[in-house]
Structure 1
Amino acid sequence: MTTYTFHTEGHCMGGFVPTGAELEADPTPEIHPGQLVAVVLKKTGPMQGLAHSLHGNGWLGVVKMLLGTTETAGGVTAHMLAQLNPPIVLAVPEAHVVAMHRMPVPR
């Protein structure tokens, strides 16, 4: 199993993923709705504001909960990603995701 570890920053997942936590992501298994994911975003497109704020601060990506994947009325595949603080659901077009890897629930 090929995994990698990283440190979190921020409070967007509430106390579920504390800031400064060391987490492990696994790029090999299938991801299912309800699982935590590490997401790397492209620096261009509709998510560029978030991506630039991440990359400008030296962060590579975000930790969110995958709610599922859907297709919009326009035929665009989008990943529905959630955070807890503040509670938000983001529809992130698949074309703007560089990588999305599963993470075990933090202990």
Structure 2
Amino acid sequence: MAKITYIEHNGREHVVDVANGLTVMEGARDNNIPGIEADCGGACACSTCHAYVVPDWVEKLPAKEAMEEDMLDFAWQPDPARSRLTCQLKVTDDLDGLVVQLPEKQI
């Protein structure tokens, strides 16, 4: 299990425990975190689970695969270094303490 902090665009923080094997997107969805729409349900087909990883975590996460890179082109104001699709981040103990900031909107 990992404790993940989701920070809404307005600064409101949500700290939740997310079970190993779920994705960061599923953790947000299951805990009713506003700002993650996840229209495609986690199929890496919509970019509505876009979030910005805080700088300390960028290098700790697995590299983006080509499909995620392509879908990020459709995200709201993507940051080449910090943007991730949360449906592509599988939760493990290694993600304990992860902090993601949610964009102003999803498109």
Bigger fraction of residues in helix: 2
Same fold (TM over 0.5): no
Bigger fraction of residues in strand: 1
Higher relative contact order (CA 8 A, sep 6+): 2
TM-score for both structures, normalised by structure 2: 0.30
The structure with the larger Rg is 1
TM-score for both structures, normalised by structure 1: 0.30
